[in-house]
Structure 1
Amino acid sequence: PGWLTPAYVVLAVVGAALGVIDGRTHRLPNALVFPLTWATGVLLVVAALGTGSWADLGRATLGALAFFALYQVLYLVSPRGGIGYGDVKLSLTLGAVLTWHSWGTLLIGVFAAHLLAGVVAIVLVLGRRAGWKTGIAFGPYLLLGTVLGLTWARLVG
């Protein structure tokens, strides 16, 4: 437990709901994503106040904006349905939480999300459960990638 615990708890609770909703509907509702983004921002500021980790907060802000910019570009250049705008909006929160720890943590979280989604997509195609153009909900993989990135950060300190 520490100053980041409230941000982790909010992300875990709302993220679990978002993962289930996106998995079922292929939608990440603004009614959950926007409050999550604001709550995470406020809780990271509180963590910075409590720990004096202003550099971590600055890095988290830059990481959130970088992750958002990356996904904004992917959204704009991908074929219709390639990436949803809910994923773009969710990237702000996930980028902030991951980059609070380090840029490496952000890279691991993003890489893990894409790797997991790719493996599942290949298995579905090979198992003839999906075709090459079948859409998969990416939010759950973004959230799982974040869990893996945060777990890595915790294990390596």
Structure 2
Amino acid sequence: MPVIWAPLPGGLVVGLIAAVTATRWLRRRSYRYEDEADAPVRDPRWLWGVLPVAMGLVAVGWWPSSPSLAVLWGVMTIGLGVLSAIDLDVHRLPDRLTFPLAGVVVAGVVVVGLIDGTPHAIVRALAGGAALGAFYLLQVIIGGARGMGLGDAKLAVSLGMILGFSSWWHVFVATLAAYLIALVWGIGLILFRGAGRRTEIAFGPHMALGAVLVAAAPGVVALVGLL
């Protein structure tokens, strides 16, 4: 087995375990408010397919150059999967998950920066979190929190930090990808579901997918190069 393939099995296994564990917790619906108790239920079992693949690609792409950053991206990927499932279910990103995630990412980028000897990346990560959080917060203020909420702005802080750790280009591409994915999704809803201007769309999953696609890209390139 080529060295670059070595992290793949571990990523797949960890992703599957995380998916099964997350699904069991999500099915309790403990994140729902009382007035959401009777809302339609979204099945989170899609995580069983998504998390193993995402974790495997993240492991292949990042482990050879920075095992510590690969671990941080792995934790982030799991967090994004859980938050996406919740947002799809109730169109809300709970503070009790977004705040701890931000704390984990802050600690994570500091530790990774010290281990890898890249203190400048720590500064860029913190600046990226502040910039992306402010960008989304401005949209919430301008839009009156319609279509995009404070939860998205809080999640943006974590995304900006972990993406910014690598480069500003990562922040830009992931953010652009989120909007393009949301655009395609919205068009699909209009064409096939008869959605209108007042149709609510959870934006958190688009943000998460944009970031994960950027994180998985090095793994995809590495694997394709070996085929």
TM-score by length of 1: 0.93
Contact 1:106 1:149 in 2 (8 A): no
Query: 1:38-75 CA deviation, whole Å, 9 max, x = no partner?
Result: 01110111101101111111111111111011011101
Give the corresponding residue for 2:20.
none
Kindly indicate whether residue 197 of structure 2 is the aligned counterpart of residue 136 of structure 1. no
**Could you say if the C-alpha distance between residues 72 and 145 of structure 1 is closer, same or farther in structure 2, counting changes exceeding 3 Å?**
same
SS of 1:114's equivalent?
A: helix
1:14 CA displacement: 1.4
1:80 CA displacement: 4.1
Q: How many residues align?
A: 156
Kindly indicate whether residue 143 of structure 2 is the aligned counterpart of residue 78 of structure 1. yes
Give the corresponding residue for 1:7.
72
Deviates more, 1:44-53 or 1:144-153: 144-153
Kindly indicate whether residue 226 of structure 2 is the aligned counterpart of residue 147 of structure 1. no
AA of the residue aligned to 1:65? A
1:81 CA displacement: 1.7
Give the corresponding residue for 1:43.
108
- Alignment partners' CA distance in 2, 1:97 and 1:80: 25
1:9 CA displacement: 1.9
1:153 CA displacement: 5.8
Give the corresponding residue for 2:49.
none
RMSD: 1.5
Give the corresponding residue for 2:57.
none
SS of 1:132's equivalent?
A: coil
Give the corresponding residue for 1:103.
168
AA of the residue aligned to 2:123? G
- Alignment partners' CA distance in 1, 2:148 and 2:155: 12
Deviates more, 1:6-15 or 1:110-119: 6-15
1:20 CA displacement: 0.3
- Alignment partners' CA distance in 2, 1:38 and 1:147: 19
Give the corresponding residue for 2:40.
none
Give the corresponding residue for 2:87.
22
- Alignment partners' CA distance in 1, 2:123 and 2:151: 24
Gaps of at least 5 residues in structure 1 are none
- Alignment partners' CA distance in 2, 1:129 and 1:79: 25
Give the corresponding residue for 2:183.
118
Gaps of at least 5 residues in structure 2 are 1-62, 223-227
1:128 CA displacement: 3.4
- Alignment partners' CA distance in 1, 2:141 and 2:153: 10
Larger radius of gyration: 2
1:84 CA displacement: 0.8
Q: Percent identity?
A: 35
- Alignment partners' CA distance in 1, 2:119 and 2:77: 24
